[in-house]
Structure 1
Amino acid sequence: MEAPKFAAVNLTAEPAFPAQRPCEEWRSGPEDSVFHLANMFLFFGLMGGSGFYGLIYLFTFLALGFFCSAVWAWSEPCTTDSFLWSLALFAACLGQVLYVSYKLRSVSLNQDFQEMYSCIFKKLGVSLIHFEKIVASCDGDVHALGKDHCFAVEGKTAIDKLSLLLSGRIRVTVNGEFLHYIYPFQFLDSPEWDSLRPSEEGVFQVTLRADTPCRYVAWRRKKLYLLFARHRYIAKIFALIVRSDIAEKLYSLNEKALDSSRHHYDLRLPSFCHMPGTKLEKTNVLQVPVQGARTA
């Protein structure tokens, strides 16, 4: 029998897949400055705040970080995927910067609403986006009230809105007796607003008359409550500023109210709290004066 000729048989198996070309050797030293600069930009970008300007800060630094990362990936071998991802994220962040900048420029407010924002809402950290919604809920209208004209008459005017004084001065009286003034950027009807539930109705118990020509902005109750239902954050802001306004009015009343001994009344407690201890102990009947009561 003739022996098989193994030398003539080619037993070399072809690989199933072509061998991948190895990448060039990576650098043994540290990365260049562009790589570190990219990470620094990303770090500072993630420290951005909220609001329009906070978003511009955030996306600007992120865009710079991803741009530097794309430059680094372009100059390094075997970083094609990193380059493509960095380039895509850079484009997305740049688009966000342009979009937020456009929104910031599109928010145009007249002088009255700019002053309102600066004096009240800006101090509370309300963004222009939310303030624009607040302005839209009152249709951006500013109302005028002539001198000696009444904004509300006690027992007659319905409580159907929340109003903020922009300029002028309002005198508040009850039964013809002076209570206090309302000055610019104070609410005209904050106690009335806070005293009613959304489904309740009521009328003013005081008269509000303009001492000087006045201008004010008003939000209708139903429209404002719809805004609160959609934006809980705005509802909390209004609750804060309305109750702060009520506290200021109570404090002003407390400063002006004096008893027969020239002591200040404390509106939070009965008037006898300022009486001397010995006199209070001898008092058998505690009488609280009734507003508007007639004397015989």
Structure 2
Amino acid sequence: MSNENLTFFETLVYGHQPCEIWTNGTEGALYQLGNTVLMLGYMGGSGTFGAIYIYCCLAPGFLCHALWGWISVCGLDVFTWNLLLILLCLLQLCHLVFRLHQDSFPSEEFRTLYTTVYLPLGVPLPVFKEVAGACENRVLSLSIEETYALEGKTPINQLSLLLSGRIRVSLEGQFLHYIFPYQFLDSPEWESLRPTEEGNFQVTLTAEMDCRYISWPRRKLYVLLAKERYIARLFSVMLGNDIADKLYSLNDKLFARSGVRLDIRLPSLYHVLAPPSTGESGAGAAEPRAPGNPAAPPLQTHPERNPPNSRVPHRQPWPSDGELPSGEDSTSLILEDFADLTGSFMEYGRDSPPGGHPTPFQRSWAPLAPTDTPKL
């Protein structure tokens, strides 16, 4: 077969002199060791650490081949190509280590924070790195009974997120609610001020156990929110959800004496929580009309509770915080009046004659009907 009529494939197969004599010797220990290391290297995985393992094995394998080409074969091309492959493996190793360092977390607490709070929201890791960088990747601590803020004294100059422990919130010694892990410590204070305003805490925050938290300086965080719109929306959602949780925790404190849970969203509860106006107070203290006046039927009362000649005592306006007796707070007084008021409504409804006209009190006030809201 002439070489002129051969195709390219046939040239590769038949266009060279066949090996007539095979050598029985080996190429040396360096050549065999290099191939063994290469075989082990190609057994690595496909992840980041698998790629690091592969390149860590390829570099010594190519080094063995380079030494074999320099010492045994005395071929400059063999040595040069293997040396180039060694350099490429080292560059790939440096790139993988750099990426691994970028994807790492400053501490295990930041890793837990990302997987618990930010990852369910779909926040990319580089964005979380930027958020964590705004707090300088520092985790602060509070010991037992150490105060984070004092009412009327501590300025609002930061925003903090609790990582572990529990914080007790109180006002003038009265317990309000708890702050649990992955909740903001001062979200209401943060939302109450504009960027140019200054203010102090109105509540006291005390650690009930050893606590760990991160804190963003106020001005530095404002600069980040103004620069990154995505981070600003993220904090808006997180702060709104946190404030709603705090409101619901306050709602859990509103209980009637009968144990029925009240809902702060009830429109009728607003009339109980709000102080009475001047006109309504005067109307409540006025004498009932004479029975002979047909324009307005008399207010019917229970004969055993209110004798005919007795006056209904006028309920005084709500006392101020300074006038409250010791051991009582405004919440307890509100609940006592609410329980009395609901009882009077039930009794008055039973005493009203069937088919009678509604009284002015019934026309001006909505019925107070506490609802048993589900536990949040």
- 1:169 equivalent to 2:198? Answer no
Match of 2:102 among 96, 100, 106: 106
The answer on 1:148 being equivalent to 2:145 is: yes
In structure 2, the residue matched to 1:180 is 177
Structure 1 residue 263: deviation in Å?
A: 4.4
Conserved? CA contact 1:175–1:292, under 8 Å: no
Q: Which has the higher contact order (CA 8 A, sep 6+)?
A: 1
> Given the alignment of the two structures, is residue 158 of structure 1 paired with residue 187 of structure 2, yes or no?
no
Any idea what SS the aligned residue of 1:133 has?
helix
The residue identity in structure 2 corresponding to 1:145 is L
The 3 A distance-change label for structure 1 pair 295 and 264 is same
Contact 1:174/1:206 (<8 A) preserved = yes
TM-score scaled to structure 2, two decimals?
Answer: 0.47
> Of 202, 206, 213, which aligns to 1:205?
202
> Using the alignment, how far apart are the partners of 2:140 and 2:220 within structure 1?
17
Counterparts in 2 of 1:150 and 1:217: CA distance versus 1, 3 Å: same
| Aligned twin of 1:244 | 241
Secondary structure of the equivalent of 1:184?
coil
Q: Check 1:100–1:273 CA distance in 2 against 1; reply closer, same or farther (3 A cut).
A: farther
**Paired amino acid for 1:106:** Q
Cα distance, 1:295 vs structure 2 = 3.3
Alpha-carbon spacing, 1:288–1:244, altered in 2? closer, same or farther (3 Å): farther
Describe how 1:1-296 pairs up with structure 2 within 5 A. 103=99, 105-109=101-105, 110-260=107-257, 262-268=259-265, 272-273=269-270, 284-285=280-281, 292-295=321-324
Q: CA deviation at 1:252?
A: 1.0
For the aligned residue pairs, the C-alpha RMSD in angstroms reads 3.1
Per-residue deviation, 1:255: 1.3
Deviation at 1:107, TM superposition (A): 2.3
Q: Evaluate the alpha carbon distance shift between residue 101 and residue 238 of structure 1 in structure 2; reply closer, same or farther with a 3 A threshold.
A: farther
3-state SS, counterpart of residue 216 of structure 2: strand
Deviations 1:250-296 (A, max 9, x none): 01110122245644444446773587xxxxxxx94499967835237
Higher gyration radius (CA): 2
Distance change in 2, residues 1:164/1:202 (3 Å):
same
Q: 1:220 is matched by which residue type in structure 2?
A: P
**CA 1:99–1:232 in structure 2 vs 1: closer, same or farther (change >3 Å)?**
farther
Count of residue correspondences: 193
For the Cα contact (< 8 Å) 1:250–1:267, is it kept in 2? no
1:147-193 per-residue CA deviation (whole Å, 9 max, x = no partner) reads 00000000110001100001111111001011111111111001111
Cα deviation for residue 99 of structure 1 reads 7.8
**CA distance in 2: counterparts of 1:99 and 1:193, whole angstroms:** 41
3-state SS of paired residue (1:116): helix
Q: Is the 8 A contact 1:190 1:246 kept in 2?
A: yes
Tell me: CA distance 1:290–1:230, structure 2 relative to 1, closer, same or farther (3 Å): farther
Shift of 1:105: 4.9
Code of the residue aligned with 1:199 in structure 2: it is T
> 2: CA distance between counterparts of 1:209 and 1:268?
29
Q: Is the 8 A contact 1:265 1:274 kept in 2?
A: no
Return the alpha-carbon distance in structure 2 between the equivalents of residues 132 and 141 of structure 1.
13
Gaps of 5+ in 1: 1-97, 276-282
Q: CA deviation digits over 1:190-238, x for unaligned, max 9?
A: 1111111111111111100000011100001100011111110000000
Greater shift in the superposed pair: 173-182 or 98-107: 98-107
